[in-house]
Structure 1
């Protein structure tokens, strides 16, 4: 992905796996307090990780894309993102999003009884995410427990028993998930979902690698060894865009990066980012950013 200056970014590898280690090797847990609006293009872009993620919205409304769905999370709502799920957050204005990210092994070692009996069933279930509403009692309990963890990080000194308290609270959260989530393992459905996500990642990466060249839907689909109709279906269910629409969006993101990090002419930037003409590039750019490329350059 093309990083931009002066904004926090999600750093991923070629499979969209986040490359940042969350927490310490001997305590794989991390707390973040983030405003989605501060991120590049006001979104925390597509990524996934083996870690588990819990978020809480304290201000504004977050839009999360996960498992082919678009989810609006208003203030005081929260969400659980399961391990390995490709997701993205967007915001139309400032959205304060305290969140925790931790490895499943924080709770128990793999192959241990605790892991196999209480952790693996959730990881293996067809539960890519779970929304938490303050109106539902068991979900409100989880939201209250998350707020306890956030409070620990905001008030406790380094020499206090923060890690011990965190483990206790996280286990309470996990027990509520274990008791209340439908954990019937649908192996064929889960396998199909993971295969679709893998193909989506392959095609997205192909676009990232070849966006400067003329690309067709057939070429994008062929990169994942599937047909055009399957590519359309996977993109639409995965990120709610067609492959060509995602290609144009990515080209525009790269062009925006060049506009405020280089002095190249607008026509040269249009050519370098794969647009067939400067006029077409300018029209698409204004549709996406509501300002012209020249105005964008001045603003940044």
Structure 2
């Protein structure tokens, strides 16, 4: 702002007026480019981390039924294991393992509601191991068992259609 004001304060009749004015305007433009450059860098940095997160999340969505190691996620995004943990914490406020567990549980909920598959089948299909482990983490997360969840959902659905 000072440089712009200085440009208005110049005496048009003074020696080198045009060059001095051009210099002040150049400094204003350089200042603006500097501000825009740092913001553009931040946008590119965020875009890059967003792309890495997208790659890892897509990998989880495609392979959730399988055993997934954090190393595999990191490799998918071309980053280190430590950077993988940091990105998940920064972007989602949870670890990659927590995200995978939550994703698998959401998929299991959908299967409980939309299919007649057994709890054991659903546990296996969603990469949640045995039915006892599945039941344990399901209860911790939803405060109910998978069987009760399915029953309550179906009961609720029946009542809506009456």
TM-score by length of 1: 0.38
Residue 254 (str. 1) matches residue 90 (str. 2)? no
CA displacement, residues 41-77 of structure 1 (integer Å, 9 cap, x when unaligned): xxxxxxxxxxxxxxxxxxxxxxxxxxxxxxxxxxxxx
- Once the two structures are superposed, the pairs formed by residues 27-42 of structure 1 within 5 Å of their partners are none
- Once the two structures are superposed, the pairs formed by residues 64-79 of structure 1 within 5 Å of their partners are none
User: Paired residue for 2:87?
Assistant: 234
Higher strand share: 1
Aligned length: 118
Of 21, 37, 40, 1:187 maps to 40
Residue 223 (str. 1) matches residue 73 (str. 2)? no
- Shift of residue 189, structure 1, vs aligned partner: 2.1
Equivalents in 2 of 1:290, 1:197: separation in Å?
A: 33
Of 97, 107, 115, 1:244 maps to 97
CA displacement, residues 175-211 of structure 1 (integer Å, 9 cap, x when unaligned): xxxxxxxx89522222111111110011001000000
Equivalents in 2 of 1:229, 1:185: separation in Å?
A: 26
User: Paired residue for 2:120?
Assistant: 267
- Once the two structures are superposed, the pairs formed by residues 36-115 of structure 1 within 5 Å of their partners are none
Find runs of 4+ consecutive structure 1 residues off by over 6 angstroms. none
User: Paired residue for 1:277?
Assistant: 130
- Shift of residue 244, structure 1, vs aligned partner: 1.1
User: Paired residue for 1:210?
Assistant: 63
Higher helix share: 2
Structure 1: give runs of 5+ residues left out of the alignment. 1-182
Equivalents in 1 of 2:120, 2:129: separation in Å?
A: 10
User: Alignment RMSD, CA only?
Assistant: 1.4
Equivalents in 2 of 1:197, 1:290: separation in Å?
A: 33
- The residue matched to 2:77 in structure 1 has which SS? coil
- Shift of residue 293, structure 1, vs aligned partner: 0.3
- The residue matched to 1:207 in structure 2 has which SS? helix
Structure 2: give runs of 5+ residues left out of the alignment. 1-35, 154-162
Residue 286 (str. 1) matches residue 120 (str. 2)? no
